[in-house]
Structure 1
């Protein structure tokens, strides 16, 4: 995939990070959440394999349930133009394989610290009944703070179908393969424990225990050869620490640790002086009770040399035939039976009968196997019936949310369909409870960008409607189409947010020589506040605007204040007997009044001013002096907090002025006798 391509309109590809046996990995940038992520795309040659695609999707969705600080988090799963992809956390660093190569020898304490992180992650996965199946250093990432994170959960199950056939691409996996997997058996939690033991071995010695020319030869060594001693490579390694490796890599699963937590607990004290005299761990001898045969068709038949697939007796056949021919008595010669020969014949017969008896006994007592049927998508009752028909029993029934499987039908089984089990084994069922529902919160006042990104990542369709507002900052949510507290299915729900774009800008017109009434009309139409000053002028008619501030052409926001200087006319002799002074008045903000105002306007059309849905007070101020009358509004404004205003008065000497403040239709302050102090 080329750099710059945007996957699903959201993930912009930056560069390739690596290629694997099943998928290719790219570094990408999440355009919505503004972060780097890793995008894993299913390889082109596997996109037409329905089984691989189905398992890729199913297991990837299961991996999203795993939340642990040492597991690479899966953010998203999807498909575009036939491309199956996973979006995961991007870990800046290197994988454990390269880390071992660059830092070996690694201090024992650091080895234990890294392994404890890995074991904690594996324990969490096992508690969710998810088996990794392909644990190896290449699937463990080490970031710049030396924090280990496991990746590729759930994908390994699909990859395991190709593990022994694509030998050129999975040699790394075979080095960590458990004996039961090498035999062709089903992977269990103990299989992951074995792989962890091999990883610990490599961290202590810098190499894997088994090497070979082919994947098959390495797999054979896993269940035929003993693990080499790490203390023979490094005698300084304490016996207790070697015992952790030996127990984790025991041939029989029952001899290994019961779970990852037990291994971590044992590993934690392996350097303790109290365990200095510990004896070397020796697993119980014997087979696990089952005879498993690796199929010679396909991989083994082509990978093993002729000497390994041809019985030894066949080599000696010509010689034995010749001996038999030379030992045949000539015609007419009298046959004689020696007593010793008779004894040998009887002993041979006994051996033959004994071998035949063993073979018959193994056939009779060998456990009868059956295959888990594919019941995904079927009703619970039908699934249980099909399990009984396959000589299996239904185990624990789990409930799980699913957007793809109808309510009451099977989402998945454990073990998966097609797995070979002993008859009457238990198979656990996961039954769908329908799509996962999401409870919407109250998003009013929140940032639209972050809220929309979060909801879109959850599966919602988000729409935006923009309106101007003088009281709500730009980018903040003012209203939402779905009430808070409602539980909905994200994939089926579209939510619309009304978002503030802030105050609208106004380019001021030329108000000079306009009357006070004309100026007030202009201010009302453009949602501006006016403040008046007065001056004598012989050039401008009384009551008309002499000048304005800001001036013509200035760009202001809605709600801003424009100061106008009005003419008193030409100055006369009586003008000197005029008092000019100012009075400061504090106007308190009222929350309850704002809420009431908002409630009264909820039935209006969608075109109602955005300020009606926000906490604000409408303030009207009336003045009486030489230039104003209490019957007309001196100033109108909206406030969202306590506000102090300065009122200018011009009165004849010895006279008084008056003012009145009205908040949301109610008089809250007045003074009918305002004089110069």
Structure 2
């Protein structure tokens, strides 16, 4: 189906996601609900069978009943131009097959967690009498939050009529096929349990138990060969955990778990110390009714039937009768009979000897020309040099050497081999090695200014331990990261790393006190203690002493944030009748923001886990001289985070001048000792 095609006027095809044995899958966008979905179209060669179409529709509709967090939800079922389709939940992530390849070896606890999700979903399906029939890692999707979701319910059941073969190909993956399905029998709930056991085997070992050149050869192994021991590949696997694999993959369905709930309960406790001494599971060895072929030796050593033993009696009796009838020449007759029987025996003996020699010749020839075989030794956990020596001793060579991260195997030691240990190979065959580079490392980014919630969630999902320290800041929005304890660019092992973030809570709030009748110095101290900025106005007053606060704006009880400005009106005292005229004017002064000191501080203390709001602000103090102020006291104090322009009001006697001085972080950056009107 081409990109851009709109199915049923609703689902616009974006791109192909994959092709399977029964259906093709596409990513599409639901134009009505405005969401991405997966669209699965029944394969062309199955669309012409009315029976298959009916079953597809019936079972697909039944699949919509399976609402479970670990099952890909079916949203819609339909048909267009003869095309049968399913619309399902789109899971952004990967399938379990690729997940095993990318993350192997997987921690046992994580293996159990993934399997518990899958078992929970299969349990619900079985309760609805729906058998999947095609459980395999390719049908298990793992999303970005490591949630497992089973797909292909419905189709697998709908095509049950083709339970074993379809156009001479095995339906589903033969690597996960149960013995009864491989024989052509009907699939049951125990068939799904067998497939689940094979999947558990693969997650523990990184490979499937049976390989072969053809699907038929693999299918034969499923009902003829015993499942290889996972402990032979990884001896650290607890026996209780191996027993789950062995019981789930028993040849006879009766020897397997009765239901997936029993398997889940057994798996849940498989790592418990209480089961440390558990013996290896051995299924009952009952006759399953298969036809047996007896060896030739059994036939040759078996006693002859009575009818065969008496078959030669007439000859003997007739011979005896002949001897009694001719009494005149008994010796001559006996001699003739003996001579006539000896050549026949010699012929049989000679033929038997020739056959024996031929058989011996064939056996000797097979022994001489049969390739010499050897077994791959277990070198997991060995140093590379030691592994090479052991492989050489086993008459094998080292093939490609790969590097892979591992949290369970020490650095520079063997994580796994391919083929795995115990595999029979011709001598001098190559064995590939995977060498541990230690736990997987993660390169930290610079998270300053990022949202704490999303950053912490991302890092915790990777295995980090994340801590939060709340810090008030007037320059950094609430919820944003101010500082991180581990520097950006550093490569660390997530499981061994604690990250502490200093997170802004925004500006702290201040409930203003009553500053009336306070001295200017007292008001400035209050502002400094509460990180407030002050602005002053002046007025004559007969009630309030000179240099005391007449009023404030905002008033008493108002709630402001740190860094906000409060305007105070200061008393000049009583106005004298003969006071000289004054000039009133204002001067605008631009104060540039300087971040160079912050950068040098950050370089000197890059690993600091704490910070204050001043790390991204300048402290500015302004001194003003006019009729009401002197340069010895601060006129205004403020913090800035960018270039700022302030307006300075002057009141000077006619013909006189004023002055100002601006100090930024302890350094004078601007001053003027002769400020006049115009």
How high is the TM-score relative to the length of structure 1?
Answer: 0.55
- Tell me, in whole angstroms, the C-alpha distance in 2 between the residues paired with 1:186 and 1:424: 27
- Tell me, in whole angstroms, the C-alpha distance in 2 between the residues paired with 1:93 and 1:478: 38
Aligned twin of 1:429: 433
The 5 Å alignment of 1:527-606 reads 527-571=531-575, 573=577, 577-592=581-596, 595=599, 598=601
The 5 Å alignment of 1:34-73 reads 63-65=101-103
Aligned twin of 2:662: 661
Q: CA deviation at 1:551?
A: 2.1
Contact 2:377/2:390 (<8 A) preserved: yes
Q: CA deviation at 1:469?
A: 2.9
Give the stretch that moved more between structures: 467-476 or 82-91: 82-91
- Structure 2: stretches of 5+ with no match in the other structure: 1-66, 73-90, 118-141, 162-171, 179-198, 229-249, 254-281, 321-336
- Tell me, in whole angstroms, the C-alpha distance in 1 between the residues paired with 2:368 and 2:659: 114
Aligned twin of 1:281: none
Contact 2:395/2:427 (<8 A) preserved: yes
Contact 1:445/1:478 (<8 A) preserved: yes
Q: CA deviation at 1:135?
A: 9.0
Aligned twin of 1:621: 622
Counterpart selection for 1:302 from 273, 287, 308: 287
Aligned twin of 2:109: 79
Q: CA deviation at 1:431?
A: 2.6
Give the stretch that moved more between structures: 647-656 or 424-433: 647-656
Aligned twin of 2:10: none
- Tell me, in whole angstroms, the C-alpha distance in 1 between the residues paired with 2:208 and 2:607: 62
The 5 Å alignment of 1:8-407 reads 17=70, 63-65=101-103, 77=107, 79=109, 85=114, 88-89=142-143, 95-96=151-152, 98-99=154-155, 133-134=175-176, 154-155=202-203, 177=218, 184=225, 302-305=287-290, 307-309=291-293, 322-328=307-313, 329-330=315-316, 333=320, 334=337, 337=341, 354=358, 357-358=361-362, 361-362=365-366, 364-407=368-411
> Relative to structure 1, is the Cα distance of residues 606 and 512 closer, same or farther in structure 2, using a 3 angstrom cutoff?
farther
- Tell me, in whole angstroms, the C-alpha distance in 1 between the residues paired with 2:177 and 2:454: 36
- Tell me, in whole angstroms, the C-alpha distance in 2 between the residues paired with 1:609 and 1:381: 50
> Relative to structure 1, is the Cα distance of residues 356 and 383 closer, same or farther in structure 2, using a 3 angstrom cutoff?
same
Q: CA deviation at 1:302?
A: 3.2
Give the stretch that moved more between structures: 360-369 or 554-563: 360-369
Q: CA deviation at 1:531?
A: 0.8
Contact 2:464/2:499 (<8 A) preserved: yes
Aligned twin of 1:610: 612
- Tell me, in whole angstroms, the C-alpha distance in 1 between the residues paired with 2:498 and 2:394: 45
| 1:503-559 CA-partner distances (Å, limit 9, x unpaired) | 322222111221111100111111111111223433333322222222222222222
Aligned twin of 1:32: none
- Tell me, in whole angstroms, the C-alpha distance in 2 between the residues paired with 1:355 and 1:638: 103
Give the stretch that moved more between structures: 397-406 or 502-511: 397-406
- Tell me, in whole angstroms, the C-alpha distance in 1 between the residues paired with 2:589 and 2:283: 95
The 5 Å alignment of 1:443-454 reads 443-454=447-458
- Tell me, in whole angstroms, the C-alpha distance in 2 between the residues paired with 1:420 and 1:535: 103
Q: CA deviation at 1:426?
A: 2.6
Give the stretch that moved more between structures: 508-517 or 648-657: 648-657
Q: CA deviation at 1:633?
A: 1.1
Larger Rg: 1 or 2? 2
- Tell me, in whole angstroms, the C-alpha distance in 2 between the residues paired with 1:314 and 1:510: 116
Aligned twin of 1:293: none
Counterpart selection for 1:514 from 493, 514, 518: 518
- Tell me, in whole angstroms, the C-alpha distance in 1 between the residues paired with 2:201 and 2:478: 43
> Relative to structure 1, is the Cα distance of residues 426 and 606 closer, same or farther in structure 2, using a 3 angstrom cutoff?
closer
> Relative to structure 1, is the Cα distance of residues 592 and 478 closer, same or farther in structure 2, using a 3 angstrom cutoff?
same
Contact 1:376/1:412 (<8 A) preserved: yes
| 1:167-224 CA-partner distances (Å, limit 9, x unpaired) | xxxxxxx99955676765999xxxxxxxxxxxxxxxxxxxxxxxxxx9799xxxxxxx
Q: CA deviation at 1:92?
A: 9.4
- Tell me, in whole angstroms, the C-alpha distance in 2 between the residues paired with 1:580 and 1:370: 105
The 5 Å alignment of 1:457-476 reads 457-476=461-480
| 1:265-309 CA-partner distances (Å, limit 9, x unpaired) | xxxxxxxxxxxxxxxxxxxxxxxxxxxxxxxx989983343x444
- Tell me, in whole angstroms, the C-alpha distance in 1 between the residues paired with 2:558 and 2:283: 84
Contact 2:550/2:568 (<8 A) preserved: yes
SS at match of 1:630: coil
SS at match of 1:521: helix
Q: CA deviation at 1:83?
A: 5.2
Give the stretch that moved more between structures: 372-381 or 630-639: 372-381
Contact 2:501/2:609 (<8 A) preserved: no
Contact 1:39/1:85 (<8 A) preserved: no
Q: CA deviation at 1:568?
A: 3.0
Aligned twin of 1:408: 412
Q: CA deviation at 1:413?
A: 1.4
> Relative to structure 1, is the Cα distance of residues 391 and 300 closer, same or farther in structure 2, using a 3 angstrom cutoff?
farther
Contact 1:186/1:420 (<8 A) preserved: no
Q: How many residues align?
A: 468
SS at match of 2:536: strand
Contact 2:502/2:610 (<8 A) preserved: no
SS at match of 2:528: helix
- Structure 1: stretches of 5+ with no match in the other structure: 1-13, 20-34, 41-58, 67-73, 106-118, 123-131, 137-150, 164-173, 188-213, 218-296
Contact 1:77/1:85 (<8 A) preserved: no
SS at match of 1:64: helix
How high is the TM-score relative to the length of structure 2?
Answer: 0.55
Give the stretch that moved more between structures: 343-352 or 364-373: 343-352
